[in-house]
Homo-oligomer: A and B are copies of this chain.
């Protein structure tokens, strides 16, 4: 996975563990795609400080993932869900009741 993309996913999972300031800077950098200079102007913080916050947070996000593996687990679950949905579509449906049930099950699987 591309590093920047992986970090933006990790930010989705572990953002709530960062401080408000850290979250704001990381959001501007990874989600709004602003440059260090732009973030520095918006937040009235030196470019060097923004650089340090981003590096520090990147390390934190990677450490959290090493400890909790939420991204890894979520990707694994997602792939199992897709497999199940594919299997459900292979079930031969011979009644309206079954058809409604299978549709319902697929909807519920997406919600897990």
Majority DSSP secondary structure for residues of A touching B: helix
Known: A16-B67, A17-B68, A77-B112. A105 touches B84 (CB 8 A): yes
Q: Is A109 an interface residue (CB 8 A)?
A: yes
Q: Which residues of B contact A14 (CB under 8 A)?
A: 68
Known: A91-B91, A101-B87, A101-B90. A80 touches B112 (CB 8 A): yes
Q: Mark A66-83, 1 if CB is under 8 A from B, else 0.
A: 011010000001001101
Q: Which residues of B contact A84 (CB under 8 A)?
A: 105, 108-109, 112
In chain A between 50 and 95, which residues have their CB closer than 8 angstroms to a CB of chain B? 64, 67-68, 70, 77, 80-81, 83-84, 87-88, 90-92, 94-95
20 contacts between A and B (CB under 8 A): A17-B67, A17-B68, A77-B112, A80-B111, A80-B112, A84-B105, A84-B108, A84-B109, A84-B112, A87-B101, A87-B105, A87-B108, A88-B105, A91-B98, A91-B101, A91-B102, A92-B94, A92-B95, A109-B109, A112-B112
